[in-house]
Structure 1
Amino acid sequence: MMNNQSYDSFWNTAKRGFMRMPTAIRWIIGSTTIVFLIQMLGGNFVNNLLFQAFAFDPSFPTVFIQPWRLITYAFLHVGFLHFLFNMLWLYWVGRSVEETIGPRSFTIVYFSAAIFGALLDAIFANIFGLNLVIGASGAVTGVLVAFAMLYPRAPIMLFLLPPIEARYFVVGWVLIDVLFIGKQDSVARLVHIGGALSGYLLLKAYKNGTDLSVIIRYFEYLFGKLKPSRKPRNNNMSIVRDVEVVEEVEQSELDEILEKISKDGYDALTKEEKQKLFELSKKK
């Protein structure tokens, strides 16, 4: 009975932990895990079918006539460690990014990095080799760059190394890819660089006030999931122009929380501060 209780407790705990993930990250990790399990259970035959149908092929004209590969390749992985490290990095750095910019904007950052990385690889494929590309590394690199731009001083802990500020870690990460372009090491360096560049450009646009979620909101509206809310106006009510005052107070609170993250890291926030950050980020 104890063993059954422990087994049940483990799966309940795992389920609660999974459901507490931010929305977009939960969906991405869940979908990628399902695909990976299909790969593992299906063996070489299923793997080969998946690679031939969904891996990114930079050759002409495949890159144009099979555009779904620009996204589907990011759900495929070549082995357990490849899958594990991509999902761990996505969770570690992605959750604070999503909680800051919101799930829709995060989804745009993630998949834009995957797409841009694949396209950059296609541009230079004839120089550095026409190889099928799989893995979420390019998309994760875009998220990592976004994290460093939002929290440049946040410490990143690596095994047997002292804490490294996110901004320095990301520069080193990308620099390694630049230095090893063209090396025959089965790593899609150009995809990483393209993902990093996409993450940088999108976060710069976000900081300048661009609504990154507009594309997803458009499709939600198109398919009826998002409807404009129009409340009837009460002519007996007067208008109080205190919006600017409220926005100034909220911005001050947000600045204090972000300053704490930049000094001590996201995990140093209290439960109330994390909830406040999430609520304020949804209004931005």
Structure 2
Amino acid sequence: MSFLSELKQNIRQSGKVTYEFIAVNVGLFLLFNILFIFERLLFRTGILADFYHDYLFLPGSLDVLITRPWTIITYMFLHAGLFHILFNMLFLFWFGLLLEEYLGRKKIISLYFLGGITGGLLYIISYNIFPYLRDQLEFAFLVGASASVMAILVACATLLPDYTFFLLLLGPVKLKYIALVLVIFDFLSIAGSNPGGMIAHLGGALFGFVFIKQLRKGNDWSQPFIKVVGGLGSVFKRRPPLKVKYSNKDRKNSSPRPVSQQDEIDAILDKISKSGYESLTAEEKNKLFRASGKD
């Protein structure tokens, strides 16, 4: 078995969508950069790099965006350099896996895409309303998974504020402080050389915070998104006709659909937020684990 085949199999067996997001980001980064190198060495041109920039990065201009609407999705899987992707993937690995243990695949998928979309939209709005940024509109393009990663990071910190990481030179630091420092850094960096990128980061962070707050109120924003994505996917699937017959006996013996346990799960999440994961009973941990497997 080749290395790539083995890696692909291990990712599938893990069942973690966080690994899948990392694999897609790293795979695309390597693919495009290898192509750029060979194009430059063999043909001494930059046509592919120009296409990559012009048709896959998210433009700040509405006039350009309307001709390339797919860029609101493609931009969040591409990166501008080695350190850019390195730090994004490290944060995604640390916080994505942690949050996925509690919320499951579907909510991580929703946070990644909706956080990225929110950050992208805030970026576009900012470049079209603020005079300082509007002067740079012609050259404004956004790229990177940072808004998506910030959505997951802040969601994780909102759900598990007292979860502790051991940081080099600093020792144990609670997750809420890590998130707070990063958000403050992004806000202050708006005055720097990449204001639009920092605004996109803050858009993702805001979405992650509101997502968890709404989830605790019983409003799961991942459900409509997953239904839309699932509906789009079903359009391209050919299904054989299905015939189902019911007898009176089947109707009498059929059991009613189980009642939603969202309130119970929300109570467990609140308990984690207040007292930490270790405060849960074995039964509560099992319920949360089963719920994360479904979502």
Provide TM-score, normalisation by structure 2: 0.74
Determine if the alignment matches structure 1 residue 278 to structure 2 residue 284.
no
- Please name the residue that 1:57 is paired with: 59
Three-state SS of the structure 2 residue aligned to 1:164 is strand
Compared with structure 1, are the counterparts of its residues 51 and 204 closer, same or farther at alpha carbon in structure 2 (3 Å cutoff)? same
Match of 1:199 among 208, 223, 245: 208
| Counterpart mapping for 1:1-284 below 5 A | 14=7, 17-43=10-36, 45=46, 46-125=48-127, 126-128=131-133, 129-130=136-137, 131-184=140-193, 188-211=197-220, 212-221=222-231, 223-224=233-234, 234-237=250-253, 251=265, 254=268, 258=272, 262=276, 277-282=288-293
Q: Which runs of 5+ in 2 are unaligned?
A: 38-45
* In structure 1, distance between residues paired with 2:9 and 2:267: 29
Deviation digits for residues 197-219 of structure 1 (CA, Å, limit 9, x no counterpart): 11112222222112322222244
CA-CA distance at 1:185 after TM superposition: 5.1
Q: Percent identity?
A: 30
Work out whether residues 104 and 294 of structure 2, in 8 Å CA contact, stay in contact via their aligned partners in 1. Answer: no
Structure 1's unaligned 5+ residue stretches are: 1-7
How far is the alpha carbon of 1:278 from its aligned partner? Answer: 3.2
Q: In structure 2, what residue type is equivalent to 1:127?
A: Y
Q: CA deviation at 1:156?
A: 2.6
Q: Is the 8 A contact 1:154 1:264 kept in 2?
A: no
Instruction: Give a deviation string over 1:32-53, Cα, whole Å, max 9, x none.
Output: 1221012220126333321111
SS at match of 1:111: helix
* Structure 1 position 122, deviation (Å): 1.5
For residues 161 and 114 of structure 1, the distance between their equivalents in structure 2, rounded to whole angstroms, comes to: 30
What TM-score, normalized by structure 1, do the two folds share? 0.77
Instruction: Judge which range, 198-207 or 44-53, deviates more.
Output: 44-53
Counterpart residue type for residue 169 of structure 2:
L
- Given the superposition, is the C-alpha separation of residues 222 and 134 from structure 1 closer, same or farther in structure 2, using an over 3 Å criterion? closer
Per mean C-alpha deviation after superposition, the further-off stretch among 199-208 and 211-220 is: 211-220
- Across the two proteins, how many residue pairs are aligned to each other? 270
Conserved in 2, the CA contact under 8 Å of 1:154 and 1:261?
no
Deviation at 1:127? 2.4
Contact 1:151 1:261 in 2 (8 A): no
Equivalent position amino acid for 1:262 in 2: G
Could you list the per-position Cα deviations for residues 73-122 of structure 1 after superposition, in whole angstroms to 9, with x for gaps in the alignment?
11111122211221121121112322322322221111111111111112
d(CA) in 1 for partners of 2:245, 2:197:
51
- Aligned-residue CA RMSD in angstroms? 4.0
